[in-house]
């Protein structure tokens, strides 16, 4: 519900992210789009200082840069119609065009001059040889003339000589996949996750208030004065109370799914730029969410356990607490895994709902173990909720309150209740259930880490061009004539003059790329 940061701030953050990574060569396309002149100047100036200090290289294309921004660059690469018209120091670019007969007016921005001088429509106004008749010079001719210019000759000579690798700086190539040690990466990710948790404090406070409110309602429904221990039916009501508690603790972590998906776009960008490995991103969530799970389970158990009237033995109390804590951690890992696999809130909710329905139905309460069909037995044995249901039921119904033997029976009432609901009545099933929940917790977090490492976001944007634009680009390289579509022709079939001018204008748009590199 907060406004968020502005477009200029987003540009700064993105540029800062690029500088943090291990890359020493930055390729930045139109980073000034949507920014004012002053902001563009400050960003490029910061890049220039960073590149010069750290001995890096940046290739930047800007859309109509201001003269102050243009003067920050060291080298210019002028591209037009697939040809390199000029590549060299910024100070010599005007010298080259004066060599070709074109001069930039005194009050004309050099960047604007470079974008117009290769266009057949705008070229004539810059013709400086008044004693000679003007003749249009094509982009191909300009590119060929650059090869004979002293800057082009020097560039060709430099490229003809193989580079002596012994002269390269030892740190010119990054040999480590990540910029810092694993310990530092983990500390940085823990710090970031903690910051995000503080920003989302409202979510955790709301979840706690919701848990307390539902806990009060639960205590009034299953209040101990109305909870008897005389028959199997009474035991079924206690079983229902236990199942309801399991569902509440499990679904209290459902917010993890949405928050995980909302953070994925930033993660995918930083993962692909080798900021940190996937485990360094997933592990802090497991570590920092554990205190929250402890607090939620503590509030619930201390509020409801004795009010509902579960077994009063203190050992049973803490065993109940342990089961719910393991269940809360397992649920958080499960919902994070659903978010990592779904990668989209719609997909995650759709597929996740089916998975949760299976977990609930096969949890051992809605359908008892004896009622599950043979071909669905595997679903019963892999359901985490089944192990939680068995563990918490064994802890309760093998307690002192359920050891009395009802009339016409040879077994304690607690054992009869568990057998009627398909629960294993052996004491060791408590520790089997706890161990299974802990195992599922680590399994889900491990699978979440694998999903982060190997899965990519849906629908990567791809640049799409029309067939006409593609044909024009091919023709500009081969020198062939192309036939315009009927939209560009008048009734006589000839190309309209404004359409030709528009095409020339499009083909004459220049990608003015600048390279920042330390001098000397």
Specify the higher pLDDT residue, 510 or 325.
325
Same domain, 394 and 286: yes
Specify the higher pLDDT residue, 233 or 471.
233
In a domain, 482, yes or no: no
Domain limit, last residue, from 104, 130, 163? 163
Other beta carbons within 10 Å of 238? 24
Mean pLDDT of 499-510: 40
Counts of helices then strands in the chain (DSSP H, E): 20, 5
Band (174; pLDDT cuts 50, 70, 90): low
Same domain, 150 and 215: no
The answer to whether residues 252 and 211 touch, using CB atoms and an 8 Å cutoff, is yes
Mean pLDDT of 341-361: 85
In a domain, 499, yes or no: no
For 20-29, 245-254, 485-494, which range has the lowest pLDDT when averaged over its residues?
485-494
In a domain, 409, yes or no: yes
Mean pLDDT, rounded, of the chain: 84
Domain limit, last residue, from 432, 454, 476? 454
Place of tokens 């979440």: 448
Mean pLDDT of 324-335: 94
Same domain, 21 and 77: yes
For 157-166, 290-299, 386-395, which range has the lowest pLDDT when averaged over its residues?
157-166
Mean pLDDT of 314-320: 93
Please write the tens of the pLDDT for every residue from 90-120.
999 999 999 998 999 888 889 889 988 888 8
Same domain, 88 and 20: yes
Domain that holds residue 141: 8-163
In a domain, 358, yes or no: yes
Place of tokens 């101990």: 224
Residue 30 CB contacts under 8 Å (≥ 6 apart), including other chains: 61, 62, 63
In a domain, 320, yes or no: yes
In a domain, 322, yes or no: yes
Three-class DSSP category at 76: strand
Same domain, 393 and 269: yes
Strand pairing report for 83-89 and 511-516: unpaired
Same domain, 97 and 239: no
What gap in Å lies between CA 452 and CA 113, rounded to an integer? Answer: 48
Residue 515 has pLDDT above 60, yes or no: no
Same domain, 156 and 188: no
Residues pairing with 83 in the sheet: 80
In a domain, 171, yes or no: no
How deeply is 2 buried, as exposed, middle or buried, from its count of CB atoms within 10 A (0-12, 13-18, 19+)? exposed
Same domain, 120 and 220: no
Same domain, 267 and 397: yes
Residue 163 has pLDDT above 90, yes or no: no
Residue 258 has pLDDT above 60, yes or no: yes
Residues pairing with 495 in the sheet: 489
Same domain, 237 and 113: no
Domain limit, last residue, from 454, 469, 504? 454
Residue 434 has pLDDT above 80, yes or no: yes
Mean pLDDT of 476-485: 56
Mean pLDDT of 142-161: 90
Same domain, 212 and 240: yes
Other beta carbons within 10 Å of 289? 20
In a domain, 168, yes or no: no
Same domain, 139 and 193: no
Count of domains in the chain? 2
Best CA proximity match to 423, nearest among 374, 363, 378 = 363
For the chain, the first-to-last Cα distance in angstroms comes to: 52
Three-class DSSP category at 85: strand
């Amino acid at each position: 519900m907060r406004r968020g940061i502005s477009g200029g701030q987003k540009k700064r953050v993105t540029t800062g992210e690029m500088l943090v990574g291990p890359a020493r060569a930055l390729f930045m396309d139109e980073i000034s789009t949507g920014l004012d002149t002053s902001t563009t100047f400050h960003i490029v100036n910061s890049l220039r200082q960073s590149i010069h200090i750290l001995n890096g290289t940046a290739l930047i294309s800007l859309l109509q840069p201001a003269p102050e921004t243009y003067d920050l660059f060291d080298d210019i690469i002028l591209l037009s119609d697939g040809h390199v018209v000029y590549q060299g120091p910024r100070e010599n670019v005007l010298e080259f065009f004066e060599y070709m007969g074109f001069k930039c007016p005194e009050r004309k921005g050099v960047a604007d001059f470079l974008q117009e001088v290769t266009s057949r429509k705008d070229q004539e106004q810059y013709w400086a040889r008044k004693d000679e008749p003007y003749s249009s010079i094509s982009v191909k001719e300009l590119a060929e003339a650059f090869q004979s210019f002293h800057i082009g000759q020097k560039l060709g000579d430099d490229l003809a000589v193989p580079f002596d690798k012994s002269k390269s700086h030892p740190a010119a190539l990054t040999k480590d996949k990540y910029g810092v040690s694993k310990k530092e990466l983990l500390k940085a990710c823990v710090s970031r996750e903690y910051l995000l948790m503080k920003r989302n404090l409202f979510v955790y406070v709301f979840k706690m208030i919701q848990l307390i409110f539902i806990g009060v309602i639960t205590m009034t429904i299953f209040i101990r004065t109305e909870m008897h221990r005389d028959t199997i039916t009474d035991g079924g009501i206690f079983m229902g109370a236990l199942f309801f508690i399991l569902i509440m603790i499990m679904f209290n972590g459902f917010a993890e799914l949405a928050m995980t998906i909302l953070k994925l776009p930033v993660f995918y960008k930083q993962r692909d730029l080798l900021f940190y490995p996937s485990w360094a991103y997933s592990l802090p969530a497991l570590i920092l969410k554990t205190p929250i799970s402890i607090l939620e389970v503590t509030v619930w158990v201390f509020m409801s356990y004795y009010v509902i009237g579960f077994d009063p033995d203190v050992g049973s109390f803490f065993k109940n607490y342990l089961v719910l804590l393991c269940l809360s951690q397992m649920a958080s890992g499960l919902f994070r895994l659903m978010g990592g696999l779904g990668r989209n809130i719609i997909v995650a909710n759709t597929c996740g709902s089916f998975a949760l329905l299976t977990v609930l139905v096969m949890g051992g309460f809605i359908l008892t173990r004896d009622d599950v069909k043979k071909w669905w037995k595997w679903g019963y044995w892999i359901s985490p909720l089944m192990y939680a249901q068995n563990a918490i039921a064994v802890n309760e119904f093998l307690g002192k309150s359920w050891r009395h033997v009802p009339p016409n029976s040879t077994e304690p009432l607690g054992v009869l209740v568990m057998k009627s609901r398909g629960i294993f009545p052996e004491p060791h099933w408590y520790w089997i259930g706890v161990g299974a929940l802990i195992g599922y917790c680590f399994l889900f977090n491990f699978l979440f880490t694998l999903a982060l490492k190997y899965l990519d976001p849906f629908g990567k944007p791809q640049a799409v061009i029309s067939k006409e634009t593609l044909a024009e680009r091919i023709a500009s390289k081969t020198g062939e004539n192309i036939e315009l579509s009927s939209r560009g022709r008048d009734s006589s079939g000839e190309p309209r003059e404004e359409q030709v001018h528009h095409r020339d204008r499009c083909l004459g748009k220049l990608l003015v790329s600048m390279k920042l590199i330390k001098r000397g």
